[in-house]
């Protein structure tokens, strides 16, 4: 189809505007800026005093009409009723035909020169691959699809059966911006990128995706790399799909480097990322609202699958993820990766915690590998951490670290960590360690309550790996006035598996006026028949000060929850002493 006369009219206006810009340039930077903004030219040739068009559109308008192709000039109606498939196919073909060769052989691939404009409207597309087709015959670098804003310029995909809106093998450096994409047929994919060595440097800015099974499904043997998402929004992704998907077949560990900035994933039970290969993922700000509401089995927001990946491809970084998990089966991370690095910073899973009791929020599978280094920092989390391991995992050094995290719903780190030993071949003693550093809980926080206060600094499974560095720990026991006194009883919860080696107390001279002799503290378990762990006593008058340590002849193993829950009782302590310390020492 020939371009309409609007294209010619636009040419005149574009040249006129270019002339104005040249005149304005002589007025100085500030005057030129004000002059050019006062009379904008839209792609269709109209002028208006002020424009809400994206800044890059305004810049493109001054570049000349040969760089702008308006989909309406190719017959698109944008009325939500007329099938605009042919118009999009033609405008993309025209963009492909306009490819050029870089001068001086600066690039071996041909380069594009077109910005495809999608004016406001609802464009119905019924033909699969109308947006980008895989029938191109040679590589082209560069094409841009620009709308006037998601929910303003909308493309509605309604094939007769499940299909793919765009399927690429030859385009590189493709940009989508200010557009809304909607699937009106179940099972559809927005972009199936099946490539042997193309599909590189894709950028999605201010785009909206609704109703697809997959927003992106990557396939092929190489590349599919350097994808960038900024202020993109997904809604109602089908539960058996994912926003970003890489399957186990016809895929490659060469798919790498994906960035997400300020995105959302709403009203869905589908993962945001589900990949069976490696890939470097970087997420900075992601809001996940009304997620997992219709799950009947566990599902995770991020799935890192596969346990045999190439070197240099397994890296996942997420910062500022907020999740409204509306189902007890909602989870944050599932990982099978065999090495690499996985980190979460400032993740918040607390929004729906008052209404749903979560199962396993994190599931990590080693299966005879060291696995990635897992780090969770400054996060608010709920639910459990399930760690699966195999019979020979004791040969590796594992690392799962929770640093400065707050845990909801679980009373202690021992309650957080669960081990799946189904593939351990009976080797249930070699547990991969999980470390909690400077963490805290919201359950069992008061040592003078009957339930006790949990000690959260711990390394669960500390005796699992054959070689690892252990931490010798000391926990201070106090009531609101100092070390327990009078009839005061304090209760603490150590991690199951803690090994107590000694009990120590100390006080400076003159801290109390009491001259009583025989101050003593007794530590016992909370079993039905309590076991006395040990005691420590002050040998002289209390006002003289002291430092006394009782080293247990046999270290005490807190091998059950009741043996790890300890009561500390004061005997003959007749005065509060806020300057004294009472310490339980050991390894945990």
Least confident range from 59-63, 504-508, 583-587: namely: 59-63
Q: Which domain holds residue 525?
A: 472-587
- 338 and 450 housed in the same domain: yes
- 220 and 171 housed in the same domain: yes
Residue 35 domain-assigned (yes or no): no
| CATH number of the domain residue 486 falls in | 2.60.120
Following CA atoms 254, 258, 264, 266 in sequence, which dihedral angle do they give, to the nearest 10 degrees? 0
DSSP letter assigned to residue 111? E
Mean of pLDDT values over 233-253: 97
- 251 and 319 housed in the same domain: yes
- 527 and 557 housed in the same domain: yes
Structure tokens at 266: 């709403």
- 257 and 347 housed in the same domain: yes
Residue 11 domain-assigned (yes or no): no
Choosing from 411, 438, 460, the residue where a domain stops is 460
Residue 51 domain-assigned (yes or no): no
* Chain segment 358-413, per-residue pLDDT in tens: 999 999 999 889 999 999 999 999 999 999 999 888 889 899 999 999 999 999 99
Residue 38 has pLDDT above 60, yes or no: no
58 against 65, higher pLDDT:
65
- 439 and 352 housed in the same domain: yes
DSSP letter assigned to residue 275? E
- 227 and 328 housed in the same domain: yes
Cβ contacts of 228 within 8 Å, gap of 6 or more = 201, 202, 203, 204, 258, 259, 261
Tell the residue number behind the tokens 């994206």, with chain if given.
Answer: 54
- 369 and 479 housed in the same domain: no
Residue 255 has pLDDT above 70, yes or no: yes
Residue 439 has pLDDT above 60, yes or no: yes
Structure tokens at 406: 């707050």
Mean of pLDDT values over 90-104: 85
- 314 and 432 housed in the same domain: yes
Residue 106 has pLDDT above 80, yes or no: no
Choosing from 433, 460, 487, the residue where a domain stops is 460
Model confidence band, residue 108 (pLDDT cutoffs 50, 70, 90): low
- 358 and 272 housed in the same domain: yes
Distance CA 410, CA 416 (A): 6
**pLDDT at residue 22, rounded to an integer:** 35
Residue 363 domain-assigned (yes or no): yes
Least confident range from 171-175, 202-206, 465-469: namely: 465-469
Phi, psi of 53 (to 5 degrees): -65, 145
**pLDDT at residue 394, rounded to an integer:** 83
Q: Give the residue among 251, 323, 252 at the shortest CA–CA distance from 289.
A: 323
- 267 and 205 housed in the same domain: yes
pTM of the predicted model as reported, rounded to 2 decimal places: 0.86
What is the count of structural domains for the chain? 2
**Residue 44 pairs with which residues in a beta bridge?**
none
- 520 and 406 housed in the same domain: no
Residue 299 domain-assigned (yes or no): yes
Alpha helices in 26-67 (DSSP H): 29-37, 55-62
- What b/e sequence results for 518-546 when a residue is b if at least 16 CB atoms lie within 10 Å of its CB, and e otherwise? ebebbbebbeeeeeebbebbbeebbbebb
Distance CA 400, CA 341 (A): 10
């Amino acid at each position: 189809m020939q371009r309409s006369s609007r294209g010619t009219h636009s040419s005149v206006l574009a040249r006129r505007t270019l002339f104005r810009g040249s005149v304005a340039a002589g007025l100085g930077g500030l005057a030129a800026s004000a002059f050019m903004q006062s009379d904008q030219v839209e792609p269709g040739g109209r002028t208006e005093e002020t424009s809400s068009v994206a800044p890059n559109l305004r810049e493109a308008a001054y570049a000349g009409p040969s760089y702008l192709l308006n989909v309406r000039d190719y017959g698109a109606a944008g009325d939500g009723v007329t099938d605009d498939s042919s118009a999009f196919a033609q405008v993309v073909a025209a963009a492909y035909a306009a490819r050029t060769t870089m001068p001086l052989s600066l690039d071996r691939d041909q380069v594009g020169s077109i910005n495809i404009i999608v004016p406001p409207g609802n464009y119905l597309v019924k033909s699969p691959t109308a947006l980008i087709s895989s029938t191109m015959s040679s590589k082209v670098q560069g094409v841009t699809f620009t709308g006037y804003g998601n929910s303003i310029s909308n493309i509605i995909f309604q094939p007769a059966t499940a299909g793919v809106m765009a399927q690429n093998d030859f385009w590189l450096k493709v940009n989508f911006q200010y557009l809304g994409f909607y699937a009106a047929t179940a099972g559809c994919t927005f972009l199936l990128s099946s490539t042997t060595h193309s599909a590189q440097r894709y950028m999605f800015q201010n785009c909206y995706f609704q109703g697809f099974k997959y927003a992106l499904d990557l396939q092929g043997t190489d590349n599919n790399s350097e994808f960038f998402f900024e202020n993109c929004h997904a809604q109602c992704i089908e539960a058996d799909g994912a926003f970003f998907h890489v399957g186990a077949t016809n895929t490659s560990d060469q798919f790498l480097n994906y960035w997400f900035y300020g995105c959302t994933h709403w009203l869905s039970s589908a993962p945001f990322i589900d990949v069976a290969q490696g890939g470097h993922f970087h997420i900075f700000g992601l809001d996940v609202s009304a997620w997992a509401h219709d799950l009947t089995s566990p599902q995770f927001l991020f799935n890192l699958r596969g346990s045999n990946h190439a070197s240099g491809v397994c890296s996942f970084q997420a910062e500022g993820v907020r999740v409204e998990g509306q189902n007890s089966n909602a989870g944050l991370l599932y990982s099978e990766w065999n090495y690499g690095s996985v980190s979460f910073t400032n993740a918040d899973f607390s929004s729906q915690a008052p209404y749903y009791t979560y199962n396993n929020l994190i599931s990590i599978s080693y299966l005879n590998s060291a696995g990635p280094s897992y780090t969770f920092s400054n996060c608010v989390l709920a639910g459990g951490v399930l760690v699966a391991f195999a019979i020979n995992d004791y040969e590796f050094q594992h690392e799962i670290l929770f640093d400065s995290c707050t845990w909801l719903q679980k009373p202690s780190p021992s309650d957080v960590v669960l081990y799946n030993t189904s593939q351990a071949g009976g080797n249930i003693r070699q547990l991969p360690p999980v470390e909690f550093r400077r963490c805290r809980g919201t359950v069992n926080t008061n040592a003078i309550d009957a339930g006790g206060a949990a000690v959260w600094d711990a390394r669960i499974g500390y005796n699992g790996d054959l070689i690892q560095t252990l931490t010798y720990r000391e926990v201070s026991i106090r009531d609101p006035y100092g070390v327990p006194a009078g009839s005061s009883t304090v209760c603490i919860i150590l991690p199951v598996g803690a090994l107590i080696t000694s009990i120590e107390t100390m006080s400076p001279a003159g801290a109390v006026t009491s001259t009583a002799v025989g101050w003593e503290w007794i530590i016992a378990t909370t079993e039905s028949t309590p076991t006395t762990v040990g005691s420590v006593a002050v040998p002289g008058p209390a006002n003289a000060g002291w430092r006394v340590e009782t080293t247990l002849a046999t270290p005490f193993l807190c091998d059950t929850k009741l043996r790890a829950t300890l009561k500390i009782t004061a005997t003959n302590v007749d005065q509060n002493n806020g300057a004294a310390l009472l310490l339980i020492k050991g390894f945990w």
